Amino acid sequence: MAPLNGPVAEQIAKHISEVTNAPFQIETQQSVSGGCINQAAKVSDRKRTFFIKTNHATQLAMFEAERDGLQEMYDSRSIRVPQPLCCGVTHSLSYIVMEWLELGGGCSGGAWRRMGEQLAAMHKATSTQGYGWHRDNTIGSTPQQNQWCEDWVEFWRDRRLGPQFSLAHAKGGYFPRRDELMNAIPRLIGAHTPMASLLHGDLWSGNAAITVEGEPVILDPATYYGDPESDLAMTELFGRFPHEFYQAYDSVLPIATAYRQRKVLYNLYHILNHYNLFGGSYESQANSMIAQILS
Ligand code: ADP
């Protein structure tokens, strides 16, 4: 990213100093690639290192929701996530600061097995308020509605697929079997009444990593409470996680046989979101998935 310049760097450093109760100044900074939405950098005073993401000032709420999501996952003490420090706005930029994690560890030593066990442990953290979250957030940069809902069918139809179809329609997308699909959701989910589990919400392979110490980490969440199968489904969407991940997950939280059918309904949400973010062939991919779900 463009380097954090004088006043911006100073403000962020001041904020870090305040929340950590120790003076901090940015002495080195390095841009970090790999994100889809924001600009990112590693900053350091040569003693302490942090990870910073920035965007337009208008995106503050997105970072606040990310901070809250990371904190909730962090507090579940189940799987490693970067500890969030603070977020704010300065000089027309919004930012989030979090713990820097040295990523890039290999998959030897059972890291993916631990990823499976620890994700299942996180999914055991449940909400007593039903499905949803205390605030809306974003999936990529698309708004994600999280108003609490007692009923999973209603949640998936009205808070997940419905809003994505509306955005896709406004964008000119053509989904001839949309109504048929929406009407079939009660039958497709049927008697399945999942736990309201703490979810990552956007768990594709780019948001899972191993630290150089071999510790599994999940990043960049779109947190809410919902069916744990929807997190699992996304791990299979853009390049499946290694086999031992699923074995280990299943040993802690057994994966139902009917997950295979529900998985496509859950991943349709992400493909519609990709159509809304990137357009192109995601429209035909969504239509193929709809046909598969209804077959
Ligand atoms: P975006 O919100 O733009 O999608 P990400 O949160 O995915 O950005 O971060 C971009 C990349 O930065 C990730 O793919 C990962 O490699 C790296 N990264 C994310 N969080 C950290 C962190 N706390 N410490 C070190 N590297 C990180």
pLDDT, tens digit, for every residue of 238-258? 989 999 999 999 999 999 999
pLDDT bin (cut points 50, 70, 90) of residue 142 is very high
Are residues 245 and 115 in contact, defined by beta-carbon separation less than 8 angstroms? Answer: yes
Give pLDDT, residue 24. 97
- Choosing from 1, 29, 32 the residue with most ligand 1 atoms within 8 A of its CB, the one to mutate for a pocket test is 32
Outline which parts of the chain fall under CATH 3.90.1200.10: 109-294
Q: What is the pLDDT of residues 38-55, one digit of tens each?
A: 899 999 999 999 999 999
Q: How far is the CA of 128 from the centre of ligand 1 (A)?
A: 31
Residue written as token pair 């890039």: 104
Strand (E) positions, 71-223?
84-90, 93-99, 137-139, 142-144, 197-199, 208-210, 216-218
More confident residue, 174 or 1: 174
pLDDT of residue 2: 67
Q: Distance between alpha carbon 243 and the CA centroid of its chain, in Å?
A: 21
Catalytic-labelled residue, pool 68, 136, 202, 231: 202
The model carries a pTM of 0.96
- List helix spans (H) across the chain: 6-20, 60-75, 111-123, 152-154, 162-170, 178-189, 228-235, 243-252, 259-278, 282-294
Residue type (1 letter), 193? T
What is the domain class of 6-99 according to CATH? alpha beta
**Contact (Cβ atoms closer than 8 angstroms) between residue 86 and residue 16:** yes
For 78-132, write each residue's pLDDT tens digit: 999 999 999 999 989 999 999 999 998 877 779 999 999 999 999 999 999 999 9
Residue percentage of the chain with pLDDT more than 90: 92
Determine the CATH number of domain 109-294.
3.90.1200.10
**Predicted pLDDT at 281:** 96
Q: Where in the chain is the domain with CATH 3.30.200.20?
A: 6-99
> Phi and psi at residue 84, in whole multiples of 5°?
-75, 145
Query: Separation of 83 CA from ligand 1 center, angstroms?
Result: 13
- Report the chain's mean pLDDT, rounded to a whole number: 96
